[in-house]
């Protein structure tokens, strides 16, 4: 799954729960999901390759 930084827990590399990969208006990719510990919304900017990899690993695709 997608790894991101949780602002509330202050932990790097948290694996997102219920990740959704979307395309931004400028053509980039972003993943949004929940922190597995505190359920805070997490976001991570992704490259095209990492977005495709995340979708293959089970993240939902919304683009």
pLDDT band at 1 (very low <50, low <70, confident <90, very high): confident
State yes or no: pLDDT of 63 exceeds 90.
no
DSSP H helical ranges for 1-63:
48-56
Q: What is the pLDDT of residues 4-61, one digit of tens each?
A: 999 999 999 999 999 999 999 999 999 999 999 999 999 999 999 999 999 999 999 9
pTM (two decimals): 0.86
* Calpha distance 10→48 (Å, rounded): 27
State yes or no: pLDDT of 3 exceeds 90.
yes
* Calpha distance 62→9 (Å, rounded): 27
14, 5 contact by CB (below 8 A): yes
């Amino acid at each position: 799954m997608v790894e991101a930084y949780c602002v509330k827990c202050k932990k790097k590399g948290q694996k997102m729960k219920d990740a959704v990969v979307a395309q931004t208006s400028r053509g980039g990719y972003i993943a949004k999901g929940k922190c597995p510990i505190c359920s805070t919304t997490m976001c991570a900017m992704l490259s095209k390759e990492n977005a495709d990899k995340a979708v293959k690993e089970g993240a939902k695709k919304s683009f």
